[in-house]
Amino acid sequence: MASNETNPIYEDLMKDYNTELTHSGVNGERLAKRLYELSFIGYTQVGGVKRPGLSDEEKKAKELVKLWMTEAGLSVTEDGAGNVKGRLPGKDNSKRAIASGSHVDSVPNGGNFDGPLGVLSALEVVEAWKESGYMPPKPYEVIVFTDEEGARFNSGLSGSRAMTGDMSEAEMEGLRDYNGETLEQVLGRYGSSLQAFKEAKQDVTELELFVEVHIEQGKKLEQADQPVGIVSGIAGPAWLEVEFLGEAGHAGNTPMIGRKDPLVAAAAFIQKIPEFPRQISDTAVATVGKLEVSPNGINVIPEKVTLHVDIRDIYEGPRDQLLELIRQEAESIAASREIGLEIKQNTKIQPVPIAQNLQEQLADSLQKFSIKPTYIPSGAGHDAMILGRHVPVAMLFVRSKEGISHNPKEWSSLNDCVAGVHVLKDFIEKAMEQ
């Protein structure tokens, strides 16, 4: 375990904390201590965390959260996919539950807020109710989803997709992690099985509403000078695998005229990508983030170049228009250069707009705490996006310093984190009364 000197997150959170924000049962110091304790699990020497999905580190983080859930009076269960659920009975347990939560896994050398803040905010609502003696009219659940980030299998949101039944058996059986191990092998070491993972599916329509708190992963709240904002929609990613196929040759002996160089074609294609989103939508984005060159020799004209295009928008129609534009551009470039082309669509997830009435209710809760509503589309995927295919969902963003995420420098002030808890608590209490 790292020493307090090398991991000063608690002191850094507390040094500028406005203790007047600790009220109505919400306790900023408790939240800071829990973020601090989680930060030791998978701690990296540069102050980040490494907690891949279904790893020993993710499991330890869940066990710690399960302990806190139990101490807060929740009944705790864990399904075969590793999703943890803490349930608080309501006055009328025949009514559908309201749920909140997020994840505790991370990208390699990630930050201390992406995921854990949403889990601990949801749990802090229970702690506040416990201190104030409030019993919710309906059941309330705190959920910790497995493997949201997808760092292990290159395919994220595994826990929420298992819970909703949105992961096919073929995908489950085809997954391989960064060590080449199957999902079944990884689950076996975790203490589960592939069969149990398949049986994690439940009827999520038993939930009335799911609301997730997350750091913003952008700078709009910082620019607006507001601690908490409203997510207007969650972009659905579509991933294209584009393969340009040319002819390998010696870099010195092959004349420039007549070359069929797939890397030159890929470069032309990549340069065109930034032009397309703005033609379609203000919220659309497209990114080439991964490139593979074969045989990748310094003195060899490549034979094959594979690149991956991440295409997103919070609206499905414009997203699919952008997808088609990019596909047509690849075809045009390949044809003009007389090289081969193969395109695979590896992922296509439906975007989730947040219902207008839920955005309005979130705005009411923000204004109660003198926070000006700021509406932000989420370009990143979240577990709320997966649940949002089946039940109403809402999301709150908490201001993130310089918009940094997936990085040890990721930071949200304790004042902003606690403001997020107060807004979440007020929003859920209003939903409980409806």
pLDDT single digits (tens) 367-379: 999 999 999 999 8
pLDDT band of residue 275 (cuts 50, 70, 90) is very high
**Beta carbons within 8 Å of 295's beta carbon, 6+ residues apart:** 248, 302, 303
Nearest Cα residue to 7 out of 37, 30, 50: 37
Q: Which residues pair with 242 in a beta bridge?
A: 307, 343
Q: What is the pLDDT of residues 119-173, one digit of tens each?
A: 999 999 999 999 999 999 999 999 999 999 988 887 889 999 999 999 999 999 9
Residue 295: cis peptide before it, omega within 30 degrees of 0: yes
One-letter amino acid for residue 430 of the chain: K
Looking at the predicted structure, is the pLDDT value of residue 237 above 90?
no
User: Three-class SS of residue 94?
Assistant: coil
For 95, which DSSP code? S
Compute the average pLDDT of residues 208-218: 97
Name the pairing type of β-strands 249-250 and 75-78. Answer: unpaired
One-letter amino acid for residue 84 of the chain: V
Cα gap 365→367, rounded to integer Å: 5
pLDDT band of residue 32 (cuts 50, 70, 90) is very high
Looking at the predicted structure, is the pLDDT value of residue 24 above 90?
yes
Looking at the predicted structure, is the pLDDT value of residue 2 above 60?
no
**What CATH architecture is 236-348?**
2-Layer Sandwich (3.30)
Q: Maximum CA pair distance of the chain?
A: 81
Instruction: State the pLDDT at residue 381.
Output: 83
pLDDT band of residue 5 (cuts 50, 70, 90) is low
For 346, which DSSP code? E
In this structure, are residues 104 and 65 in contact, taking their beta carbons and an 8 Å threshold? yes
One-letter amino acid for residue 323 of the chain: L
Cα gap 217→397, rounded to integer Å: 9
User: Three-class SS of residue 370?
Assistant: coil
Q: Pick 210 or 345 by higher pLDDT.
A: 210
Compute the average pLDDT of residues 279-290: 93
Looking at the predicted structure, is the pLDDT value of residue 4 above 60?
no
Q: Which residues pair with 101 in a beta bridge?
A: 143
Nearest Cα residue to 128 out of 362, 429, 368: 429
Nearest Cα residue to 420 out of 112, 124, 136, 85: 124
Cβ atoms within 10 A of the Cβ of 57, count? 18
- Domain residue spans of the chain: 9-235+351-433, 236-348
Instruction: State the pLDDT at residue 128.
Output: 98
Fold of 9-235+351-433: Aminopeptidase (3.40.630)
**End-to-end CA gap in the chain:** 46
Looking at the predicted structure, is the pLDDT value of residue 3 above 60?
no
Q: What is the mean pLDDT of the chain?
A: 95
Question: Which of left, alpha, beta for 296 (phi over 0: left; psi -120 to 50: alpha)?
Answer: left
The whole-model pTM stands at 0.86
Instruction: State the pLDDT at residue 6.
Output: 61
Q: What is the pLDDT of residues 334-368, one digit of tens each?
A: 999 999 999 998 778 889 989 999 999 999 999 99
